[in-house]
Chains A and B, each alone.
Chain A
């Protein structure tokens, strides 16, 4: 049994955990690249990353400085917007705090410790961080990546495979799929800021595995197939959707409300598994747009299923006056 509110918190804890991990990894990949590039070129690429992560509006609003490390700082340590690593870590911690009583103590302690470490970097202040040549944010990235790894380790090794786990795991995998599709979009086109295949694989933690199969200079098309359709790679969208389906099956016995989400996940999985991807990727923008919106709708369906099935008819009597109790229904 799980409270609807708790299910919701765990779903979001999973999503934010994946988000923190992915942004930290992308920034770490980008930072290595920045050091070997001209400032203007580097900044352009970083802007593209901001766009891929869906933070365009936040970026404009935050009036990010022009220093070489300003974009990295915006993505890592700036808590004025919800898309930074520090904000995502805080959201993980707040959501886990709500379910603190039902998750393993270690999971809460890892999240709390990571939050404390990230806060101390934040408290240095943006100007001071820039002066260190991005050192502070770079250290934060290392801290965040390590922290996210131990969080997922504790989650995998000590969480009971109950409904709470199903929601948290589903949240992670959905967020991962969504981010993978968005990152793939940033490899399309011809501009100087387009990410090449290797970069996309590094962003999605797939470079090593892909190198064995695709060689050293994979084209976008091959990378897209790898990240969308690979059956053994835990970063691929197909793999994630298969796992989401399993988690929703786990929940089906308890919550009839997941039926819609299950159907959608199955249909989307079949689309990737049996669809002619080569043909579909002939119009890559259209296919990625379709996948993006289908995943967003799936995530919304899973979220909706956490809302308890208590219709108005069931709660109509909540304003009755005391005094005419008929006792517990049989």
Chain B
């Protein structure tokens, strides 16, 4: 029998499966019972099935600068993460509310009157100084104001088990393909675990996304708009996902040079000649989109694309300039934006964040930097983060000097003791920290995809879950309402 380690008694973090007294939570009773019947060798065998399956199918991601070759097999941990139906309903409402407000905010900035800035909800200078703020996006309206069609919102659970928003990803959030492949792998490796649970399916993503993309097509596009996915190519870290989504939606996967703009219309270069394109789900960053308007050295983009967007002949998703709303410096204001645009109390709280350009907050943070997390605003993927309690005095002093030199570029957050869950480490299932990235799709309306990508830090005590830094993932089950009762009894 495999040893299923309880969380340490002195652990501060919330454990998903065990309460503080070491008793299994009812939600996890059946799955813990099942896993207790497998010995370590059996778990290793099943891990092998998953690994082999991912390798054969070429389910990989790329780590840049990695000496082991460019493609790495996707890491998935065996022990699934479970979310109860009632808990999920709350998350779903919270995410839907948040993304709705963020889309309103983007419309307000780019095609509206800038009301939130005028009314002092967010400082105008902060918006305008954001790297993601894009003057080229002014006046480019998007059907249904769906500036962000695909959002990935990173959630963490604090020591009390409360879900909090760590980050919003409104530009090119990736990971959805792994959610679906994780489920397929789990099904192959553990065909019987489903007997105890009724789990929300995840196979419908392609249809859901396609419907949303169709709904944002320009008015002249007709009932069958031509949709393409624009990828930087096979060497991009998320190429597997781009190909996966094209297959699931049944649309063409194109690269910049496959598209050409003539008289403000985007065309696809096919063997038949040029065919007009209606919707581009692009997976390349703003600055590479169009060498005429952005980086002139970009070979990934399409010259004249912005002109076509502006002319309204094509919709580009996610819209240009979304980076302003997921700027880490804007994050602390999102809860106020929800109150402002929707007149509702935010359902999901933020991780407590301090802004360094407010002298009071900065001084208070400096008093206890060694207890806080320091994040550069412009980085992603877990790079550049200083975790106060693990940092040396010198590192803290450096961070402080950098903050003083450019306060706009830093935020400081309370440490969240990310919740933990049993994960396979050296033949033992040990608690490891995790987060959750659910995906929110907006077309005519906003929908939350059930579950999302659970990322797990495989090193003991580590809080960095990014796959580019050795993080793993878990199949994530949202239990259907009847499943919950079944699991609880």
Give the B-binding residues of A (Cβ under 8 A): 1-7, 94, 97-98, 100-102, 105, 108-109, 112-113, 116, 163, 251, 254-255, 257, 305-306, 308-310, 314-329
Contact B310 A308 (CB under 8 A): no
A310→B267 CA distance, assembly (Å): 10
Contact B270 A1 (CB under 8 A): yes
Contact A318 B260 (CB under 8 A): yes
Per-residue A-contact encoding for B232-267, CB less than 8 Å = 1, 0 else: 001000000011111100001111011011111101
Contact B247 A1 (CB under 8 A): no
Is B367 on the interface with A (CB-CB < 8 A)? no
Cross-chain pairs A/B with CB under 8 angstroms, 14 sampled: A1-B268, A3-B271, A4-B270, A98-B234, A108-B58, A109-B58, A306-B271, A310-B260, A310-B273, A315-B262, A322-B306, A322-B311, A324-B264, A327-B264
Cβ of A94: which chain B residues have Cβ within 8 Å of it? 234
Contact B55 A321 (CB under 8 A): no
A284→B433 CA distance, assembly (Å): 74
A1→B272 CA distance, assembly (Å): 7
Contact B58 A112 (CB under 8 A): yes
* Closest chain A residue, CB of each to CB of B263: A317
Could you tell me the distance in whole angstroms from the C-beta of B7 to the nearest C-beta in chain A?
39
Cβ of A5: which chain B residues have Cβ within 8 Å of it? 255, 257-258, 269
Contact B307 A328 (CB under 8 A): no
Given contacts A3-B268, A97-B243, 7 further A-B contacts (CB under 8 A): A97-B234, A102-B247, A163-B271, A254-B271, A317-B261, A325-B310, A328-B218
Cβ-defined partner of A318 (8 Å) among B253, B262, B272: B262
Could you tell me the distance in whole angstroms from the C-beta of A306 to the nearest C-beta in chain B?
6
Is B460 on the interface with A (CB-CB < 8 A)? no
Is B56 on the interface with A (CB-CB < 8 A)? yes
Contact A315 B260 (CB under 8 A): yes
Contact B258 A3 (CB under 8 A): yes
Could you tell me the distance in whole angstroms from the C-beta of A208 to the nearest C-beta in chain B?
33
* Closest chain B residue, CB of each to CB of A163: B271
Contact B258 A329 (CB under 8 A): no
Is B407 on the interface with A (CB-CB < 8 A)? no
Interface centre among A98, A316, A320, A326 (most CB of B within 10 A): A320
Contact B253 A101 (CB under 8 A): yes
Contact A319 B304 (CB under 8 A): yes
Contact B261 A327 (CB under 8 A): no
Per-residue A-contact encoding for B354-374, CB less than 8 Å = 1, 0 else: 000000000000000000000
Contact B265 A4 (CB under 8 A): no
Cβ-defined partner of A3 (8 Å) among B57, B243, B254: B254
Contact B272 A255 (CB under 8 A): yes
Contact B308 A116 (CB under 8 A): no
A317→B292 CA distance, assembly (Å): 12
Cβ of B57: which chain A residues have Cβ within 8 Å of it? 105, 108-109, 112
Contact B292 A321 (CB under 8 A): yes
Contact A326 B311 (CB under 8 A): yes
Could you tell me the distance in whole angstroms from the C-beta of B107 to the nearest C-beta in chain A?
20
Contact B292 A319 (CB under 8 A): yes
A255→B275 CA distance, assembly (Å): 13
* Closest chain B residue, CB of each to CB of A94: B234
Could you tell me the distance in whole angstroms from the C-beta of A68 to the nearest C-beta in chain B?
32
Assuming the contacts A3-B254, A100-B243, A329-B265, asked whether A317 and B304 have C-beta atoms less than 8 A apart, the reply is yes
Could you tell me the distance in whole angstroms from the C-beta of B297 to the nearest C-beta in chain A?
15
A294→B267 CA distance, assembly (Å): 35
Cβ of A309: which chain B residues have Cβ within 8 Å of it? 272-274
Cβ of B245: which chain A residues have Cβ within 8 Å of it? 101
Interface of B is mostly: mixed
Is B220 on the interface with A (CB-CB < 8 A)? yes
Could you tell me the distance in whole angstroms from the C-beta of A11 to the nearest C-beta in chain B?
11
Nearest first, the 4 closest Cβ-Cβ pairs linking A and B are A325-B311, A322-B307, A101-B246, A308-B269
Per-residue A-contact encoding for B457-482, CB less than 8 Å = 1, 0 else: 00000000000000000000000000
* Closest chain B residue, CB of each to CB of A251: B271
Assuming the contacts A109-B56, A315-B260, asked whether A325 and B313 have C-beta atoms less than 8 A apart, the reply is yes
Cβ of A102: which chain B residues have Cβ within 8 Å of it? 246-247, 252-253
Interface centre among A105, A309, A320, A322 (most CB of B within 10 A): A322
Contact B307 A2 (CB under 8 A): no
Is B198 on the interface with A (CB-CB < 8 A)? no
Cβ-defined partner of B275 (8 Å) among A1, A108, A163, A318: A1
Contact A308 B243 (CB under 8 A): no
A251→B271 CA distance, assembly (Å): 9
Contact B270 A308 (CB under 8 A): yes
Contact B258 A4 (CB under 8 A): yes
Could you tell me the distance in whole angstroms from the C-beta of B57 to the nearest C-beta in chain A?
6
A112→B263 CA distance, assembly (Å): 42
Contact B270 A2 (CB under 8 A): yes
A328→B220 CA distance, assembly (Å): 8
Is B312 on the interface with A (CB-CB < 8 A)? yes
Contact B310 A257 (CB under 8 A): no
Contact B312 A327 (CB under 8 A): yes
* Closest chain B residue, CB of each to CB of A309: B273
Is B293 on the interface with A (CB-CB < 8 A)? yes
A248→B220 CA distance, assembly (Å): 34
Is B276 on the interface with A (CB-CB < 8 A)? yes
Contact A310 B313 (CB under 8 A): no
* Closest chain B residue, CB of each to CB of A116: B55
Cβ of A321: which chain B residues have Cβ within 8 Å of it? 292, 307
Could you tell me the distance in whole angstroms from the C-beta of A212 to the nearest C-beta in chain B?
40
Could you tell me the distance in whole angstroms from the C-beta of A111 to the nearest C-beta in chain B?
9
Is B321 on the interface with A (CB-CB < 8 A)? no
Contact B307 A323 (CB under 8 A): yes
Contact B310 A322 (CB under 8 A): yes
Assuming the contacts A3-B269, A101-B253, A320-B304, asked whether A326 and B58 have C-beta atoms less than 8 A apart, the reply is no
Cβ of A4: which chain B residues have Cβ within 8 Å of it? 258, 269-271
Interface centre among B252, B255, B271, B292 (most CB of A within 10 A): B271
A306→B244 CA distance, assembly (Å): 24
Contact B55 A319 (CB under 8 A): no
Contact A310 B274 (CB under 8 A): yes
Contact A327 B220 (CB under 8 A): yes
Cβ of B258: which chain A residues have Cβ within 8 Å of it? 3-5
Could you tell me the distance in whole angstroms from the C-beta of B235 to the nearest C-beta in chain A?
10
Contact A319 B306 (CB under 8 A): no
Assuming the contacts A308-B273, A318-B304, asked whether A3 and B265 have C-beta atoms less than 8 A apart, the reply is no
Could you tell me the distance in whole angstroms from the C-beta of B268 to the nearest C-beta in chain A?
7
Is B303 on the interface with A (CB-CB < 8 A)? yes
Could you tell me the distance in whole angstroms from the C-beta of B68 to the nearest C-beta in chain A?
12
